[in-house]
């Protein structure tokens, strides 16, 4: 019996159901993959309107702190629900619409061993009403912790700070 178990054990762990999780990117690939996750998240958040697409991008235990809005979210479900509500409001023809642009040279990414990565940077915010012209309206700093789970990045913690009108100098 022990011989059968010894022979079958390696096969059990080699099966696709027990495949090793995807390895977290390292070095330059880490920065590239975080930049891509950042771009996908903010693109969907500001210009998309698909709560089901947003849901897998955020950790169930997401916490979001904002220097103007306070503690914005204490769970991924709360964050997605608020996003869905705001999506509906943006459907009005004359609604205000926003866009966020990362300042590429400000991006800094560091690994968090056995968990994920930290991302720090600066971003710019643009607004327009309805189909009107877009205008640069603000800038802010951010720090985010991303969790590497099941071969994908999930937003885990967010600090959004130093919000200023675009006309003010950088912090």
List pLDDT tens digits, range 38-58: 999 999 999 889 999 999 999
* In the chain, domain spans: 25-165
Residues 6+ apart with CB under 8 A from 40: 57
Q: What would you report as the CA-atom Rg of the chain, rounded to the nearest whole angstrom?
A: 20
Give DSSP secondary structure letters for 97-165.
Answer: EEEEEE-GGG-EEEEETTTEEEEEEEEEEEEEETTS--EEEEEEEEEEEEEEETTEEEEEEEEEEEEEE
Kindly tell me if the per-residue pLDDT of 8 is higher than 70: no
* Mean pLDDT (whole number) for 4-14: 32
Q: 140 - beta bridge partners? A: 123
pLDDT at residue 4, rounded to an integer = 30
**Residue 17 — very low, low, confident or very high, per pLDDT cuts 50/70/90?**
very low
Query: What's the rounded mean pLDDT across residues 81-105?
Result: 92
Higher pLDDT, 1 or 167: 167
| % of the chain exceeding 90 in pLDDT | 75
CA-nearest of 134, 66, 140, 135 to 103 is 140
**pLDDT for the residue numbered 89:** 86
Q: Is the pLDDT of residue 81 over 80?
A: yes
**What is the model's pLDDT at position 102?**
96
pLDDT score recorded for residue 91: 86
**Mean pLDDT of the region 121-150:** 96
The whole-angstrom separation of Cα 40 and Cα 57 is 9
Which of 24, 34, 47 has its CA nearest to residue 104? 34
Q: Write the CATH number of the domain with boundaries 25-165.
A: 3.10.450.50
Q: Which residue has the higher pLDDT, 130 or 1?
A: 130
* pLDDT score of 171: 54
Contact of 95 with 130, CB cutoff 8 Å: yes
């Amino acid at each position: 019996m022990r011989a059968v178990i010894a022979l079958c054990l390696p096969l059990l762990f080699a099966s696709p159901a027990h495949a090793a999780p995807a390895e977290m990117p390292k070095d330059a690939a880490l920065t590239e993959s975080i930049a891509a996750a950042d771009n996908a998240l903010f693109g969907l958040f500001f210009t998309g309107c698909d709560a089901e697409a947003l849901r897998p991008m955020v950790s169930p235990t997401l916490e979001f702190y904002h220097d103007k809005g306070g503690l914005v979210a204490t769970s991924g479900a709360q964050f997605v629900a608020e996003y869905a509500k705001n999506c509906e409001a943006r459907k009005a023809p004359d609604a205000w619409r926003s866009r966020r642009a990362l300042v590429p040279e400000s991006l800094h990414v560091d690994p968090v061993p056995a968990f994920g990565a930290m991302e720090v940077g600066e971003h710019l915010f643009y607004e327009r009403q309805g189909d009107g012209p877009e205008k640069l309206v603000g800038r802010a700093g951010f720090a985010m912790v991303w969790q590497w789970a099941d071969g994908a990045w999930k937003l885990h913690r967010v600090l959004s700070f130093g919000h200023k009108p675009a006309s003010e100098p950088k912090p």
